[in-house]
Amino acid sequence: MRPALELTEVYLYRQAIDFRKSHRGLAAIIECELGHNPFDGGLYAFTNQQRTKIKCLFWENTGFVLYYKALVEDKFKWPKGDEALLTLTGQQLNWLLDGYDISVMKGHKNRHYESVF
């Protein structure tokens, strides 16, 4: 089970968190620290200090969904930066979950045309 590739609102919280936090604690970070509404349908990704675990939280109609992945030997390549929050695509989130460094991976720019002439 994976977060959908089509997700349009994916946010990566850059700071490490205490992984004892449940959905309530993560929702409190989203609301109090980030100023976002955790019930708006966005997916939020969090990691631990060692970068060996990821928790993703999102609201789905009637309740919170919590996605959790713990690595056995490796570490996630967590993007660095000054801002607390990084906006991702669903594809980038899945690349991150697969172990890729998303800061160096960029897909082709989407092209939209009105005519072939």
Average pLDDT for 43-53: 96
DSSP E strand boundaries for 24-102:
43-47, 53-60, 63-70, 85-88
Ramachandran assignment for 35, one of left (phi > 0), alpha (psi -120 to 50 degrees), beta (any other): left
Res 107: pLDDT: 64
Strands 43-47 and 10-16: parallel
Res 69: pLDDT: 94
* Domain range list for the chain: 10-97
Separation between Cα atoms, residue 52 and residue 35, nearest integer Å:
27
Alpha-carbon 9 to chain mean position = 9
Share of residues in the chain with pLDDT > 90 (%): 62
pLDDT, tens digit, 9 for 90 and up, residues 89-98: 888 999 999 9
